[in-house]
């Protein structure tokens, strides 16, 4: 079967309304395209649990800073379509920038504390852009559930907060980060990396593994965990650290000492050359 490609918001809404009337459950998988196996894993998981899976492809200018890579963000819609079909997806919503943000557009969604730290500090306005576009994509696709990757850990917390605060009634599912065999987290931006940088990028994964093993061994002192991770990162001077922290998995607060039962997230971001990389790992006693 071929893919249903929908470009207008009103067509998308009519299709979703009709499907809902038929009693179909709908899942939405928001992406910026240039899909890889990580995205495919979200689609495959959504297909397992829902009758209809709508993948969205939209490179959202609102979530890029003025000096970020919006213009050069990689694009390949034909390849994306093949990946969606192979993952079992049958619908793709690809609106234009004009369709999403016509000249008279004037509403944005701003989220509190959870969006202010980490990515929020280094990418001002990023989460406002993310929340606004995701709310619009939800309004267009009218899903029962939406699938996001743990790769963008803080984003999953921000979206959950928005869905709760605005009573959107959408079930948010978070899917583990898919990695290349080397351990590098898959990302559309990995195409920017030279072969040498791809090797250097493995330092993020080593630092996170080090942090996790300390926690596994019973260390709950935040600074000590962070220092050990930073020591590993220091072994790769090309990686310019923005943050390297351990935080509470649900609130991103950073107590001096974690308790035995806390869910902990280790978060790293920084630049390798011109490419910004982020990665994280979580630990839970349960």
Just list the catalytic residues: 39
Of the candidates 157, 158, 163, 175, which one interacts with ligand AMP according to CB under 6 A? 175
Closer residue to ligand AMP in complex, CB, 101/221: 101
Closer residue to ligand AMP in complex, CB, 129/222: 129
Of the candidates 6, 28, 39, 92, which one interacts with ligand AMP according to CB under 6 A? 39
Of the candidates 55, 56, 154, 177, which one interacts with ligand AMP according to CB under 6 A? 177
Shortest Å, Cβ 113 to ligand AMP: 21
Of the candidates 12, 15, 27, 32, which one interacts with ligand AMP according to CB under 6 A? 32
Binding flag, residue 138, ligand AMP (CB under 6 A)? no
Encode 234-280 in three state secondary structure. HCCCCEEEEEEEEEECCCCCCCCECCCCCCEEEEEEEEECCEEEEEE
Binding flag, residue 276, ligand AMP (CB under 6 A)? no
Distance between CA atoms of residues 6 and 81, nearest Å:
12
Binding flag, residue 41, ligand AMP (CB under 6 A)? yes
201-228 in b/e burial notation, b at 16+ Cβ within 10 A?
bebbbebbebbbebbeeebbebeebbee
Judge contact between 75 and 33, C-beta under 8 A.
Answer: yes
Q: Reading across the β-sheet that carries 264-272, which strands appear in turn?
A: 239-248, 264-272, 275-283
Q: Give the torsion sign (CA, 169, 7, 190, 244).
A: negative
| Tokens 């990695």 found at | 179
Binding flag, residue 43, ligand AMP (CB under 6 A)? no
Binding window for ligand AMP (CB under 6 A); candidates: 72-80, 147-155, 194-202, 264-272: 147-155
Shortest Å, Cβ 27 to ligand AMP: 13
Distance between CA atoms of residues 11 and 118, nearest Å:
37
Rule CB under 6 A: which residues touch ligand AMP?
A: 31-32, 38-39, 41-42, 148-149, 151-152, 175, 177-178, 185-188
């Amino acid at each position: 079967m071929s893919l249903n490609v929908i470009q207008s918001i009103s067509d998308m809404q009519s299709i979703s309304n009709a499907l809902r009337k038929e009693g179909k459950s709908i899942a939405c998988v928001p992406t910026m395209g240039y899909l890889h196996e990580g995205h495919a894993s979200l689609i495959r998981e959504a297909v397992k649990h829902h009758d209809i899976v709508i993948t969205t492809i939209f490179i959202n200018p609102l979530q890029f800073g003025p000096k970020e890579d919006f213009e050069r963000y990689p694009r390949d819609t034909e390849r994306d379509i093949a990946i969606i079909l192979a993952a079992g997806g049958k619908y793709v919503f690809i609106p234009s920038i004009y369709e999403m943000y016509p000249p008279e557009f004037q509403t944005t969604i701003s989220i509190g504390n959870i969006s202010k730290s980490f990515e929020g500090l280094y990418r001002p306005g990023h989460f406002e852009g993310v929340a606004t576009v995701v709310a619009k994509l939800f309004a267009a696709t009218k899903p029962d559930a939406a699938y996001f990757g743990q790769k963008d850990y803080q984003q999953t917390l921000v979206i959950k907060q928005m869905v709760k605060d605005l009573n959107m009634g959408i079930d948010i599912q978070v899917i583990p980060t898919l990695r290349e065999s080397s351990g590098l987290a898959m990302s559309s931006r990995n195409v920017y990396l030279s072969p040498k940088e791809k090797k250097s990028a493995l330092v993020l994964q080593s630092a996170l593994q080090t942090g996790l093993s300390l926690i596994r061994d019973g260390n709950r002192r935040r600074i000590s965990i962070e220092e050990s991770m930073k020591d590993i990162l220091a072994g790769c001077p090309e990686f310019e650290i923005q943050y390297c922290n351990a935080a509470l998995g649900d609130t991103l607060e950073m107590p001096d000492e974690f308790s035995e039962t806390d869910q902990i997230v280790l978060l790293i971001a920084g630049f390798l050359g011109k490419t910004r990389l982020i990665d994280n790992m979580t630990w839970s006693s349960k």
